[in-house]
């Protein structure tokens, strides 16, 4: 485990780490890539799972404080919750949380205290480190609960249908499904499902299908030697050219160039 207090600089090549990272931004602005683009500023906390390719796209006077952590070595009281948080991000969940000024200031103090304890051999340091990690975990969990509550307040009673539709998309996107199959699965008309999903998430059904296919495509490009044509086929695209165009539209680069940039 180590802490860091960094000034985010110029864009760097994509990197991966064998540890997870938690970064709380204190000021400035930064655009960060982690399975998608994130615009971050003061009060935003970013969660980077171990092994996830990531990089800074752009930054302006961005400052952060945080910790790099081996999850298997975290206190037993916090380990299960932290592992679940990072696993959610790894599976496509949101990688950010936002903290208002008061809880942000408290969290910064915890990070600073953790940094001090990691640099000392005083008696009780291990207990203090465990306590600090547990406090950070609680802060993230509570931020997650607040985000979920806000999302729940803005969605309608259609949420169960939306949840079923998104779960089906997540499981079957790479089999070549369309809006029609999703609607059939939840026993609603295509137009009705399209409206519910768009209102609840801000994204279309086709957009979610494409996201799921892109997520699978990135994993195959990153962790296998399959050709881009084979990757496109396994992700449910009708042709290699269709996969090529969709990937470039989503990522601003070709599948081959993306693989060369991101693969360790």
Domains and CATH numbers, the chain: 2-153 (2.60.120.280), 159-262 (1.10.10.60)
Q: What does the pLDDT look like over 92-108, one tens digit per residue?
A: 778 889 999 999 999 99
Distances (CA, A) of 99 to 24, 46, 103, 105, 147: 9, 11, 6, 9, 11
Helix (H/G/I), strand (E/B), else coil: 33: strand
Q: How many residues in total does the chain contain?
A: 264
Residue 148 reports pLDDT greater than 70: no
pLDDT value for 139: 94
Is 259 in a helix, a strand, or coil? helix
What's the average model confidence in pLDDT over 130-153?
A: 75
- pLDDT-based confidence at residue 25 (cuts at 50, 70, 90): very high
pLDDT grade, residue 157 (50/70/90)? very low
Please list, in sequence order, all residues whose beta carbon lies within 8 angstroms of the beta carbon of residue 212, skipping any fewer than 6 positions away: 92, 169, 170, 173, 174
Helix (H) / strand (E) element for 5: namely strand 2-8
Most confident range (mean pLDDT) of 49-53, 98-102, 149-153 is 98-102
pLDDT at 3: 55
- pLDDT tier at 158, thresholds 50, 70, 90: very low
**What's the pLDDT at 64?**
92
- pLDDT of 163 reads 73
pLDDT band at 192 (very low <50, low <70, confident <90, very high): very high
Q: What is the pLDDT of residue 131?
A: 92
Give the range with max mean pLDDT: 79-93, 200-214, 224-238. 224-238
Summarised one tens digit per residue, pLDDT across range 107-130 is 999 999 998 988 887 888 888 989
Mind giving me the DSSP string for 84-121?
Answer: HHHHHHHTT---EEE--HHHHHHHHHHHHHHHHHHT--
| pLDDT reported for residue 5 | 57
Q: Decide: 118 and 1 in contact? Cβ < 8 Å.
A: yes
3-state secondary structure of 189: coil
Banded model confidence at residue 151, pLDDT cuts 50, 70, 90: very low
Whole-number pLDDT of residue 255:
93
Confidence band for 264, pLDDT divided at 50, 70 and 90: low
Residue 201 three-state SS: helix
For the question of whether the overall pTM of this predicted structure is more than 0.85, the answer is: no
């Amino acid at each position: 485990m180590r802490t860091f207090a960094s000034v985010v600089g110029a864009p760097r090549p994509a990197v991966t780490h064998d540890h997870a990272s938690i970064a709380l931004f204190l000021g400035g602005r930064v655009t960060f890539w982690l399975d998608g683009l994130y615009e971050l500023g003061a009060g935003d906390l970013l969660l980077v799972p171990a092994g996830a390719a990531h990089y800074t796209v752009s930054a302006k006077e961005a400052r952060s404080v945080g910790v790099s952590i081996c999850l298997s070595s975290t206190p037993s009281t916090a380990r299960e919750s932290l592992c679940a948080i990072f696993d959610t991000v790894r599976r496509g969940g949101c990688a950010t949380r936002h903290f208002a000024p008061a809880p942000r200031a408290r969290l910064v103090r915890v990070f600073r205290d953790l940094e001090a304890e990691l640099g000392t051999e005083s008696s009780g340091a291990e207990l203090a480190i465990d306590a600090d990690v547990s406090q950070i975990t609680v802060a993230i969990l509570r931020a997650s609960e607040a985000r979920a509550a806000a999302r729940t307040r803005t969605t309608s009673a259609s949420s169960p249908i939306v949840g079923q539709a998104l779960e089906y998309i997540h499981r079957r996107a790479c089999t070549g499904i369309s809006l029609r199959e999703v609607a059939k699965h939840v026993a609603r008309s295509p137009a009705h499902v399209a409206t519910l999903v768009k209102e609840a998430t801000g994204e279309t059904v086709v957009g979610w299908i494409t996201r799921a296919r892109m997520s699978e495509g990135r994993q195959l490009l990153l962790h296998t030697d399959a050709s881009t044509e084979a990757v496109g086929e396994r992700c449910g695209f009708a042709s290699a050219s269709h996969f090529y165009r969709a990937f470039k539209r989503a990522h601003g680069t070709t599948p081959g160039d993306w693989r060369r940039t991101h693969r360790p």
